[in-house]
Amino acid sequence: MAVSVNSMQGLNLDQLIDQQQPGYSLDQAFYREPEIYHREIDRILLRSWLYAGHVSEVPETGDYMLLEAAGESVIVIRAADHEFYALVNVCRHRGSRICSEKTGNEKRLTCRYHGWTYGLDGVLRAAAHMPETFDKSGVALKRLHLRVLQGMIFVNFADEPGNFDLIDEELGPCIAPYGLDKAKVVHRQSYPINANWKLAVENYKECYHCAPAHPEYSRAHALAMPDAMYREEYKALITRGAACGLSDSLFNHSYENSVEFGTDRAFERYPLLRGHVTGSQDGKPVAPLLGSITDWDRGASDFKVGPLLYALAYCDHVVLYRFLPTSIDESDCDISWLVRADAEEGRDYDLERLTWLWDVTTQADKRIIERNHQGVMSRFYEPGTLSTMEAATNSWNRWLLGALKDPG
């Protein structure tokens, strides 16, 4: 058996990218080389629109939540004018972190180190014992770009990020029937994964593993099968969905075809099988119908924003998946479950029933991805041929290589 010597020794990164075979998994170096990881942070993570949370998580003036990504910390806060701000969590005096709790409420943002105090908009309000020449009017916490899409808050570290309007104008109408701007997060959970972040994304983007690994998911979701097995049911779904008030638009702007970096978006729908009307253990409803949906269409919708936020929308609840790297060999899968804003736990939904499917599925994915990482780190690992059911992963790999080589 040949021993793989997958390293960058004697190769520069662009040469390594050029040598990747289309239709194969990535070379080992892309999962273990620090130079590649740091380039991913600079060219992908810090230029992408990142999901920070939902407006329901910061309902009152002064409510905030932290977004931790790539060693950076961002305060996402609702200000007195009911505007949202994304403020870098670094004091402009000597750089101390200002907020240490993941969530909270503050009347003002005060650095506990030397007492510098900022308004909820990040503008410096007070700084004691400074020289007479000090002008606080030009000092404020650094502010990032922030956009809200149907209640979902996105931030971007780039000076000139991709045009979010492209996402809003096309994806917004497709997901509007779900009424996410009038929904609420009822559970949010982080699943730390001991694996490179790309392995987590690659796994999510294909359902080749669904049948052997996720029996709970596979018995209800048509994506676990080759599309020829549900083609007629798929056509019927579109008709039913339109009658129930759901969009009949379908599109998938792949990473490779995006007009501007980070503006890729997708929306597709597919049938639920065996009498299921939603993603639950028994296939029966787990919450009231969302938004303007009038009936159960016996289907589900997938949508995504950028390379790191993916969602599954059922008629009664929506599940948001966000992937982030935390180190070269550690990542995080953050999941939010949303229901209609006026739904009451114990009356309209049971939290355990609501979260069961995507908790059991994600726990299984965590095990799968960690075993994948362990194998990819072996000296015997060699890139393997991808299945026809891994076309989205293949597309993701091509886009990733292009983004690493050319930041444009």
**Helix axis angle, 351-376 relative to 197-204, nearest 10°?**
120
pLDDT in tens, 130-163: 999 999 998 999 999 999 999 999 999 999 999 9
Per-position DSSP letters for 303-351, written without gaps between them:
EEETTTEEEEE-SS-EEEEEEEEEETTEEEEEEEEEEETT--BTTTB-H
Q: State the DSSP code for 180.
A: G
Residues of the chain with confidence (pLDDT) below 70: 1-11, 227-230, 254-258, 407-408
pLDDT for the residue numbered 254:
64
Q: In the structure encoding, which two tokens stand for residue 87, read together?
A: 């403020």
The CA distances from residue 107 to 104, 356, 375, in Å, are: 10, 37, 50
pLDDT for the residue numbered 1:
36
CB 24 within 8 A of CB 122: no
Domains and CATH numbers, the chain: 50-147 (2.102.10.10), 162-405 (3.90.380.10)
- Torsion angle (degrees, nearest 10) of CA 247, 253, 255, 261: -90
The CA distances from residue 408 to 27, 223, 259, 319, 385, in Å, are: 23, 33, 11, 32, 29
Per-position DSSP letters for 30-64, written without gaps between them:
HHH-HHHHHHHHHHTGGGS-EEEEEGGGS-STTEE
CB 271 within 8 A of CB 277: no
CB 381 within 8 A of CB 1: no
Cα–Cα distance for residue pair 368/211, rounded to 1 Å: 13
The CA distances from residue 80 to 89, 138, 250, 266, in Å, are: 19, 21, 39, 34
pLDDT for the residue numbered 57:
98
pLDDT for the residue numbered 234:
81
Cα–Cα distance for residue pair 87/105, rounded to 1 Å: 15
**Run of H or E including 298:** none
Query: What pairing do the DSSP bridges indicate for beta strands 309-313 and 109-110?
Result: unpaired
pLDDT for the residue numbered 11:
62
